[in-house]
Every structure is written in structure tokens, then in C-alpha cells.
Chain A
Amino acid sequence: MSVNFFRYVWMYSRREQLIVLFYVVASLPFYWWSLDVPKRIVNEGIQGSVFEHGVTQARLFAFTISLPDFLGGGSYVISDGLLLAQLPYLFALSLVFLVLTLISGWFKYVINIRKGVLGERMLRRLRFDLFGLVMRFRPEDIRTTKSAEVTSMIKDEVEPIGGFFGEAFITPAFLGTQALTAMAFILAQNMWLGTLAISLILVQGVVIPHLRREQIRLGRERQIESRILAGRIGEMIEAAPALHNYGVTGHSSAEIGHRLGTLFDIRLRLYRRKFAVKYLNNLLAQLTPFVFYTVGGYLALKGQLDIGQLVAVIAAYRDLPTPIKELIDWDQQRADVTVKYEQVVSQFSKDTLLPKETNEPPPAIAADAPITVVGLRVINGRGIVQLDRMSVAIGRPGRIAFTGPAGGGRDVLAKVIGRQVTDYQGSVTIGGQEISAMSDREASSIMLYASSEPYIMSGSIRDNLTLVLRRATPRPDEKAELTAKQRYWLEEARKTDNPLVSPSADWIDYAAIGASNAAEVDTAISNALRVVRGYDEIFRVGMSSRLGDNIKPDTATQLLAARPAMIERFRERGLEQYVEAFQPDTFNTSASIGENLLYGVAVGDRFAAENMAADPFMRSIIAAEALTAPLTAIGIKMVETVADVFQDLAPDNPLRERYSFIDNAEIEAVWPEVRSAWNRGQRRHLSAQVRDKLIGYALMYVEPRHRLNLIDDRLVARILRARVSFRQFLPASEAKDVEFYDEGRLMPAASIRDNLIFGRIRYGKAHMRDKLIAVVAEVLNEHGLERFVVSKGLDQEVGPGGRLISVQQRVTVQLARAMLRRPDILVLDDALSSFAPSEGHMILENIMDAMQGRTVIVTQSADDDLSSFDIVLKFEGAKFTGLERRGSAEAPSEMPASEPAAASA
């Protein structure tokens, strides 16, 4: 990328700039005429200079082209023009003036639009180039880059540069020629006045930029300071939990406050400077008319200048300061922008960048080409030796362990081979290719690196898994009919060297996993998840995710068919007593009072458990069925119990979890009123607000869970009556807020699991939930719904950086990515450390089985079980201490004799 701003602009927008320049040149004659015509209107039309001496008609619009002498000197009459009297002559000239104004305006419009488009295109290109550069930073450089600073540079700092792209060549050309035209015009009218104007302008042109130098310096300072501010704010937001933890937010606030102060100071000085310069500039600009009026007036009075000329000169001059002023502005902007540009570009130029990505297929590297390490030595930025000089040849395929203490040479070598460290001495080659010099495409086609810190991007789990397959670079379909909009998109991308293929195109590299469509990709994902033992988890997630509205009709049929089949299966296994099915005329004791009343799933917020009691319709039903008093009593009893038993516990004590719907703060607000009303025996005198709260608590009550013995047959009967009237009187327009339980229909707002169980799991049995869910999974599989459930599980959102899923799930996603790709070489750098040792070991075994015939490199601690590796490289700190070749992994001599059970497991 060119460090010189003008070279960069010229390189990529030559054609556009020239086109606009052409428009500028084409507009000049009209500009000249639009200056000339007012003079003729005054002199000829109004004052009648051509109608003197009794001439009544004058000729207008006569055009004659005279060839210069060296071409023969002849003259050709194009038009004889019109003979007009004075009044029509004036009107005609005025009309000409109007037309010229319109034409000039049109030129201005076209030039501005073109300039704007040109600027936007260049801005897009610049931003994309900068982004491309960041993407080519070496891993070491990336680690020392503050993302917030880079973001602020790409997003905000180049913005003003974008506005200037269109101005870079055109403005000086346009304004310069305009000013020159005006100057020439003034000079043509009167030598004296012209010279005077020029000298004043020269003074302006010399003094002002000089004054502005300080302004530019301050501007640069402001840019750097605000970038650092952005970086620090970004850092502090990321570190916020730690800052709270140490209680040092005060210090960080002070730092930000100080930075803001510095910024304020710079900005203030900048403003002072700016307006001082502006003041001077205006003064100089106003000085010229003063000279014109006095000197021009004097000359006119003396008869050396006619009035028309003076008016024209003044008119030309009125136009003149604008281009000159703008020209000075342009120069100011130029200085400003080139500084900014150079500043930003220098931030993005590193001594070494990763090689540029190409679209050519990478050279094939033989599957058994060894990894050859010759004289490798790694020294970090502070001069500490991280890996001492070592040479080794690692044969492939093989199962290779790097052992030694964590943080030593074993991790560094794994990172070098995984291309996380590219700044090393010596060489590391695979099949003759230097690892650090490979392009991403080359390297990623043979190997994959996985660390303990997986990168998860926002999106669904599926998006995150298929991320690893998005390398097909789909070719734009040449023959396809493009809509105007698509054509426009494509054209613009081409003009700015942006990628032509839309990110929403199908980027999946189907061939790499032997699939041909999305469904087969799902199969491959399932297989990959099975290898890394994450499949059951995804299935469980799928089962507990919302069924959703848009399910295919045959899936719906299958789900409905699975419902009775599951009840049948529960019966076979003797499990049916542990599920209490929803029945329209029976009170479900395992569900809360509110759920029993609603007898359905709340779709929106209106009938959600916490809002139900406050809903006017629900309240009216409760009142109509005489439930207000008993429910209030239940609520009082619950509050009483909670207040009594939990009184000594802190509000956030986990023991409160079961009654967490009763907020401690609420109790404190409600309790005194309840107690005093209770003491006076006047339950009616509770305020409506408190009563709503109490009823709300009561609606959450589940007898077998809370066990306060508050539900009797009379209450059950009333609730069942209320259930009926609720359904009966619910206005049709509000029916969308509830999905009533119906054995023959699915409930999109409920989870897949709840849709199948269609009831509540009873309390009072240990481990029953797991058993029942296992049966649900079984039945789902038998009904061909496994794929559907897994697909739902894969749809789960992971949140920014994967914050919505657990650390283990994140690692599972990363390992599953590797298994989707099955690279020739897989480097697992501490990648299994978030799992319990036994689980990690099982995953590793599975991965090694799946990678049969390929190479797996794993960092292990020295006392791990190394029996399944072919080659073990041992490290002590930064030193490579030796290589141990082992026979086949199954060699019995490697097995610890004391544990025969482990061999078969």
C-alpha cells in the first residue's frame, strides 16, 4: 500500500478523476460566458451601447468561426443571428444568462455527484485494504494490537480522508481554473484592478497556510490522543470484571478523566487557532472589495473604466474569493488529510506481513512428508529464549506427543508448527515448504491448530461449526440472470477491488467432507460431534429448545405420532406414574396453580408467570371464581414462611433459590402491611398492589415442591372452574397470547421435550427426570426426529464470543471443527485442558481413532499416559531433551502391568 496519499489516489481512481476533470474543463466556457453576459446585459441591453447613433436593431447570436492564418485564414459563418430591438435584445440576453446559470448549475451538480461517488469508492477501497493488512499481520503482531484502536482507525479516522478523495485532484483543478478564469477576466477588463486583486490573494495564500501549520500539528495530536483513548476504553471494558474485583475502578476512572482533559485541552487550542485564522481570512477577503469600490469607483468616475466593466469586475471578484478561499481550504485539508493518511497507513505497515492470499490451489504436500525442524530457536520480544536451538525430523503420519512442563518448549514448538509463532530462527518445513512462509490457504489445507482458547463468533452453533468449511470461494455464476441491484453490487465491488462473492453465497466446501448438500453437512457435523463426545449435549440442547412456528408438516406429524408412542413406552418401562399428563378436567398437582389456571403455554409476556396476577382479565377471572381470598391467603402463608425461615439469610443466598420469585426487597415492603392487616383481622384492607403481589406468589405455588399443605379440594374445584371460564371468556383477539394444551396439537412456544411429554414430571423421585428424558430421546430417534432435534440444537445462539455456552461447549465446538475438516496434521495445544482428565482422555482417544493414518500432535505433561503415541518429544523448560520412538501403540510392554482393566476399556 502506497505511503504517499496522492499516489494512492492516482493509482486507483485515475480514470474517474480524468472523467471529472473533463467535466470541469467542459464547464469552463460556460463559466466564462456567465461572467461575460451580465456585462453585456448592462452595457448593451440596459445602457444600449449598441443602439446608439439611431440604430434600432442589433444582431444577436451571430456565430462566425475564423480559422487562424496558418490554416488559410478563411472564416465560416455558422449562424447569421437575429436582428432585435432593444427590449427583446435585453430579454434575449437575460434568457441567455438564465440558461447559462442552469448549465453551470448542472455541471456543478454532476461534478459534485461524481466526486462524492469517487470519494466513497476510494473510502471503501481504503478501508478494505486496511482490513486486509490487519488480516495479514503475523500472529505476534496481532497479539500486541489493540482491537479498539484498529477499529477506530478503520472506522472513524479514515472517514475525513474519504471526503477528500474526490477533492484530491479535482478541486484544485476546478477551483484553480475557475479562479484563473475569473482572474483572467478581471485582468482583461482592467490591468490595474487585476494586479491589485492578485496581490491581495497572494498575501492570503502565503499568510494563512503559515498560520495553519500549528493547527495541523494540533490536529495530529488530537487524532493520536483520541485513538489511544478509544484503545484504553476498549481495554477497560474488557477488564471491567477484574477492575471491580480489585476495587480499582477509581483509578481507571481517573485515568480516563485525565485523558479526556488532555483531549479537551488540545481541542480548545485547536478551536482558538481555527477561529483566529478564520477571522484573519475574512478580514483579508473583505479588504479586497474595499479596494475595488474605492479604486474601481475612482477609475470609473475618471472615465477610465465604464460602469458595466466595474460591475462585471465586482461580480467576478465576488465569485473569486470563494474559489480562492476554497483553494486555501483545500490546501489546509490536503495537509491535514495526508498527515492522517500517513499516520494511519504507518500503523498498518509492519516489517513482515503474512503472504497474500491467492485463489490458486495450493501445491500438494505428500501425506508422508516429514515435519523437518532445523536449528529452530525462538526468542520472544524481550530477548528471553523460549525454545533452545533444536533439530528434529518428525515422521508422518504418526501420533506425536510433546511432553514437558506447561509453558515450556513443548508449547512453543506446538505453536510454531501451528503457525501461532512465526518469528523464529532456523527453519521448520513440511515437504520443503517453510511453515511461516505458507499462505493461509496452503497451510490450512494440510493442518489445523487448536488451543485451549477457542474462538467462537456470534451466531448459532451450526454457524460456528461450519465456519471451518467456509473456504470454497464460490465462483460467481456467469450465466445467471442478475437483477439490476445485483449488477450494481457486483460492479461496485469490482471497482473497489472488494470480493465479488457475497458472504451469503454458499461458501461451504462440500467436497472436503464428501457431502453434496446441507443435510449431508448436518450428518458430517453429527459425526464430528460424536467423535468429540459433544453429540448428546447438542441433542439435549435441541430437546429443550423451543419448538418454534416454522416446522415442516411431516415433522409435525411425526412429533404428534411420537406423543402417544412415548406414553406407551413409559408404560412399558413402568415409568408412566412419574409423569402427570395434562388433562382438561383434572388438577395437575405437579404444576403450579397459575399453570393449572391457564392450562396452556403463555406465548408473549402477558400471561408469563410473573405477569399473570397483574393482568386485568386474569384478575377478573380470579375474582369471578371467588379465588381472590384463598389465593391471597396462600400468598400470605408463603410470605410468612419465607420471612420466618430465610430471615437470617443474605438476599442473594443460593438457599433462597426455590423461593426466588419472592424477592427479599418485596417482602420487606409487603410484610408490615400484611402483618398489621392480619393482626386486625381485616384481610380486605390490603392495598390492591400488595394483594396482586400475594396472588402472584400463590400462582407460583406447587404443592409437592413447596410442601406447605395449602391446596384442598375446594380450591382445586374452583381453580378448575376458573380454567374453564378463562378459556371461555378470553376474547378472540387475545387468544394469540395463550396456547391451550391440546393433545392433538403441538405447542410452538414450548420446548420439544415438553411437547412430547405433554405433562409434568412428578416430584418425589430421584433420577427419574434423567430416565424419562432418556426415553424421550429414544422415542424421538425411533420416530426419525433425531436429525430434527439435533438441527434445533445446532440452531442455538452462542452469543458474542460464545458467552451463552459453557467453556466446555466452546472447546467442543472447536474440536468438532477440527473433526469436520480432518486435516493431515492436527495440533492440539493444551486443547483438552478444560475437560476432566478422564473425559479429556476419552475425547483424545476418539480423535486419534478418527485421525487414523494422519498426524496428531498433542502437548502432554510428562506424567500423562503416553501409551497411545508413536513418537514422544521430551522438553525440559526451553530445552528439547530427546525423542523417544515407540512401537505400535498396542505394544503390550507399554501397558502398566498393574492395570489390566485399562487395556480393554
Chain B
Amino acid sequence: MTIEDEVRSMQKFRMFHHVEASKLKLLAMVSDRITFQPGEVIYEQGAASDAVYIVLEGQFTVSLRTPAGVINFAEHVRGAILGEAGVLCDQVRMVTITAESPVVALRIDRDVFLQLLKESPPFNFAVMRELGRQIMDLNNICAQLVQQLPQGAPAVDAGRRLGEPQHTH
């Protein structure tokens, strides 16, 4: 697979519809193509957010370790961008991502990703749109979940983390 192939794959993704080919080529040129075998962890909850991944091929699971056990809460297929929130907010990884089938992804280093956002407005716009779409999806999911709650259940709190407490030392 060459950079040309990677660009062609990305062009098919919804999030990159409006990004011109030359910027996608730039994106491909400054990233590394990485493959993950089924069961291999793409990144671990609590690890430093050192890179962003764009999944070109394959299927993966998102899971969250909580004191009450592991919650596998979503499965996704190609065309997703992973880890951008952690990089943008300078936070550690919130969840663990594991490959389900062989996954091919472009890995973009944190600094390169941030530079790319500065450099290319269409790319920046694509990432924003992707984040916006995710928020809308989440709102939709939240509303559905709240509907399922019994009357009088305690309100949720954005400050409370479901993940295991971080060790301070």
C-alpha cells in the first residue's frame, strides 16, 4: 500500500469529504502506517496521549475499565479518527482501544497532528466536524439512556469519572 492508496482510502471517509487530495497526501506523508493484529491494543486507558490514529481498515472495540469491571461500550469500523480528544485536551487516554480484526491505521504524532491542524483549515474543519458529529451522536445516546432510567435516579455529573482512579504515585 502506498501513500496514493492511503489517500484514496481516506477520500472515501465521510469526515474527509471536503478535504482536498493534496492535504490528505500531506497527512499520509507525515504519518506512519501501522498494523495491529486482532486482540492487539491500539492504546491503553491511562497512557499518555502521544498520537492520533486514523483507521483505514479493520474493526476495533472501545472499552473502559471501571472499579466495577470492564465495560465494552462500542465497536467501530474503519473511517474513524481515534485519540484526537486526548491530544487536543492534553489528557491521558480515557479508554482502551483493541483491534477486533486486523487493523491498518495511520499514526500521526501528537505534535505533527497539532501542527497539521494549524496548517490546513480544511483538515481542521474536518476534525471539528467529526467532533461535532460525535457530540450529536452522544447527545442522542444520552437522551435514549435517560429515557430508560427509573424515576428519581440521581443526576449524572460530568466531573465524575467512571474509569479507575489514577495512581498519583
User: In the complex, A764→B165 CA distance in Å?
Assistant: 33
* Residue in A649, A653, A707, A838 whose beta carbon sits within 8 Å of that of B6 in the complex: A707
Cβ contacts under 8 Å, B111 to chain A? 654
State the 7 A-B residue pairs at the shortest beta-carbon distance, nearest first: A709-B2, A707-B3, A766-B34, A645-B26, A905-B167, A655-B30, A842-B169
Q: Which of A580-624 contact B (CB under 8 A)?
A: none
Question: B25 an interface residue at 8 Å Cβ cutoff?
Answer: yes
Cβ contacts under 8 Å, B36 to chain A? 766
* Residue in A653, A709, A766 whose beta carbon sits within 8 Å of that of B42 in the complex: A766
Q: A654-B111, A708-B3 are in contact. Are A902 and B169 (CB under 8 A)?
A: yes
User: B residues bordering A, Cβ < 8 Å?
Assistant: 1-4, 6, 22, 25-26, 28-30, 32-36, 42, 51, 107, 111-112, 115-116, 119, 165, 167-169
Cβ contacts under 8 Å, A705 to chain B? 32
Q: A655-B112, A842-B169 are in contact. Are A763 and B32 (CB under 8 A)?
A: yes
* Residue in A641, A649, A765, A902 whose beta carbon sits within 8 Å of that of B168 in the complex: A902
User: In the complex, A648→B1 CA distance in Å?
Assistant: 26
Q: A707-B6, A708-B2, A842-B169 are in contact. Are A645 and B32 (CB under 8 A)?
A: no
User: Which interface class (under 10, 10 to 19, 20 to 34, 35 or more) fits A?
Assistant: 20 to 34
Cβ contacts under 8 Å, B165 to chain A? 899, 901
Question: A644 an interface residue at 8 Å Cβ cutoff?
Answer: yes
Cβ contacts under 8 Å, A645 to chain B? 22, 25-26, 29
A826-838: CB near B (< 8 Å → 1, else 0) gives 0000000000001
Asked if B30 contacts A764 (CB within 8 A), the reply is: no
Asked if A641 contacts B29 (CB within 8 A), the reply is: yes
User: In the complex, A463→B146 CA distance in Å?
Assistant: 65
Cβ contacts under 8 Å, A763 to chain B? 32-33
* Residue in A646, A709, A766 whose beta carbon sits within 8 Å of that of B26 in the complex: A646
* Residue in A655, A842, A845 whose beta carbon sits within 8 Å of that of B119 in the complex: A655
Q: Give 30 A-B contacts (CB < 8 Å), ordered by A residue.
A: A645-B25, A645-B29, A648-B119, A649-B119, A653-B119, A654-B112, A655-B26, A655-B112, A655-B116, A655-B119, A657-B112, A658-B29, A658-B30, A659-B29, A704-B33, A707-B33, A709-B2, A709-B4, A764-B32, A764-B33, A764-B34, A764-B35, A765-B34, A766-B107, A841-B168, A899-B165, A902-B169, A905-B167, A905-B168, A905-B169
Cβ contacts under 8 Å, A648 to chain B? 119
User: In the complex, A659→B25 CA distance in Å?
Assistant: 14
Please count the residue pairs between chain A and chain B whose beta carbons lie under 8 angstroms apart in the complex. Answer: 72
Cβ contacts under 8 Å, B6 to chain A? 707
User: A residues bordering B, Cβ < 8 Å?
Assistant: 641, 644-646, 648-649, 653-655, 657-659, 704-709, 763-766, 838, 841-842, 845, 899, 901-902, 905
Cβ contacts under 8 Å, B28 to chain A? 707
Q: Find the B residue at minimum CB distance from A845.
A: B169
Cβ contacts under 8 Å, A905 to chain B? 167-169
Asked if A765 contacts B35 (CB within 8 A), the reply is: yes
Q: Find the B residue at minimum CB distance from A763.
A: B32
User: In the complex, A764→B105 CA distance in Å?
Assistant: 9
User: In the complex, A571→B147 CA distance in Å?
Assistant: 53
Expressed in whole angstroms, the minimum distance between the Cβ of B151 and any Cβ of chain A is: 30
Asked if B26 contacts A653 (CB within 8 A), the reply is: no
Q: A707-B2, A763-B33 are in contact. List 17 more A-B contacts (CB 8 A).
A: A645-B26, A649-B119, A653-B119, A654-B111, A654-B115, A655-B112, A658-B30, A707-B29, A707-B33, A708-B2, A709-B4, A764-B33, A766-B42, A841-B168, A845-B169, A905-B167, A905-B168
Cβ contacts under 8 Å, B51 to chain A? 766
User: In the complex, A644→B4 CA distance in Å?
Assistant: 13
Expressed in whole angstroms, the minimum distance between the Cβ of B76 and any Cβ of chain A is: 18
Q: Find the B residue at minimum CB distance from A648.
A: B119
Cβ contacts under 8 Å, B22 to chain A? 644-645
User: In the complex, A653→B4 CA distance in Å?
Assistant: 23
Cβ contacts under 8 Å, A841 to chain B? 168-169
Q: Find the B residue at minimum CB distance from A840.
A: B169
User: In the complex, A766→B99 CA distance in Å?
Assistant: 13
Cβ contacts under 8 Å, A657 to chain B? 30, 112
User: In the complex, A607→B168 CA distance in Å?
Assistant: 50
User: In the complex, A509→B111 CA distance in Å?
Assistant: 46
Q: Find the A residue at minimum CB distance from B3.
A: A707
User: In the complex, A905→B119 CA distance in Å?
Assistant: 43
Asked if A707 contacts B1 (CB within 8 A), the reply is: yes
Cβ contacts under 8 Å, B116 to chain A? 655
Q: Find the A residue at minimum CB distance from B104.
A: A764
Cβ contacts under 8 Å, A709 to chain B? 2, 4
Asked if B115 contacts A653 (CB within 8 A), the reply is: yes
Asked if B2 contacts A655 (CB within 8 A), the reply is: no
